[in-house]
Structure 1
Amino acid sequence: MQFGQSQKAIDRLTAEQRRITQDAGTERPFTGEYNDHKDPGIYVDIVSGEPLFASTDKYESGCGWPSFTKPIAPENINELRDNSNGMVRTEVRSTYGDSHLGHVFPRGPAADGGLRYCINSASLRFIHRDDMENEGYGEYLDQVEEA
């Protein structure tokens, strides 16, 4: 499967998805579709479809955004220094879609590496475990536990 950014994919985004992914916006905390989501599956970039995070690595951090301990495929994540809003943070962008996803912080579960990938729901599309094979993501089934 090939991944990449296309104008056609960007044109299909809602205004909120465009603001987040293309303009490095941030959802208001506790408002995103996937904040309390618990189904088994993977989360992919809304623009490119590249696999980003597995439900197995999702946890409740209390921060108001979906939080993950690690990416499903590290090569699909770029981490960049972000000095915006008077803070120094690490921005997380998708490699192929170049979508702004959120930020990663060194305040995650120590037993799982200590990182918290704090991700905007609007930058993601969820693919349920039952649909992963049909949608071309079967190679990641071993990274998703049954609910």
Structure 2
Amino acid sequence: MDKRYFLEASVVIVGTVLLSRYINWGSEEMTTSNSRFEISKPEEEWRSVLTPEQFRVLRKHGTEPAHTSPLDKQYDEGTYYCAACEQPLFTSNSKFNSGTGWPSFFKPIEGAIATTVDKSHFMTRTEVHCSRCGSHLGHVFDDGPAPTGERYCMNGVSLKFVPA
């Protein structure tokens, strides 16, 4: 083994160790049982009531591709509910076009969401969950419009829109 190979291998190993805290593929303090939420179901039951895409996003913390949800361009008056438990999450009054390709809101309905720290994909973000069933909805960022300055960037498959 030559010196150059040894140095390259050492850099890869040290880099992996230093970055490993950001590679956890999920969120801190979230468990698959979600026993701390009002609505708790076994995985098999969630699979039976959700589509495969909804299950992947809501229960496995997935993300739908940008610009694929019809709710991104939905601007009628109404309420957006959790697709898993039907808790009201956002009103159309707080929706705006963020240009990101996902439905975006600047304010949730009070008490409707819970958050955790998400350190997946080599970054730290605030993950948004339904406060009633713990389902993954998306993330919140601090680059939204007034009055809150927040952008709740939600997966469309995690929401159900009911017109007013």
**TM-score when scaled to structure 1?**
0.80
Aligned to 2:134: 98
Amino acid at match of 2:77: P
Are residues 1:60 and 2:105 paired? no
Aligned to 2:72: 35
Amino acid at match of 2:89: L
Matched-pair contact (CA < 8 Å) for 1:106–1:115? yes
Dislocated runs of 4+, deviation >6 Å: none
Counterparts of 1:49 and 1:24 in 2: how far apart (Å)? 18
Counterparts of 2:101 and 2:81 in 1: how far apart (Å)? 19
Displacement of 1:124 = 0.7
Matched-pair contact (CA < 8 Å) for 1:32–1:121? yes
Superimposed CA distance per residue, residues 62-118 of structure 1 (whole angstroms, 9 cap, x where no aligned partner): 011000000012x12111110001111000000111100000000001x22100000
From 59, 66, 71, give the equivalent of 2:108: 71
Counterparts of 2:40 and 2:87 in 1: how far apart (Å)? 10
Counterparts of 1:9 and 1:49 in 2: how far apart (Å)? 13
Aligned to 1:136: none
Structure showing greater Rg: 2
Counterparts of 2:135 and 2:147 in 1: how far apart (Å)? 25
Matched-pair contact (CA < 8 Å) for 1:5–1:48? no
Aligned with 2:74: secondary structure?
coil
Matched-pair contact (CA < 8 Å) for 1:82–1:90? yes
Aligned with 1:44: secondary structure?
strand
Indicate the RMSD between aligned Cα atoms, in angstroms. 1.4
Aligned with 2:50: secondary structure?
coil
Matches within 5 A, 1:1-147: 4-6=39-41, 8=45, 10-73=47-110, 75-109=111-145, 111-129=146-164
Displacement of 1:11 = 1.5
Structure 1 unaligned spans of 5+: 130-147
- Once the two structures are aligned, what percentage of the paired residues are identical? 42
Q: How many pairs does the alignment contain?
A: 125
Superimposed CA distance per residue, residues 105-137 of structure 1 (whole angstroms, 9 cap, x where no aligned partner): 00001x2210000000100111111xxxxxxxx
Displacement of 1:6 = 4.0
Displacement of 1:32 = 1.2
Counterparts of 2:112 and 2:90 in 1: how far apart (Å)? 10
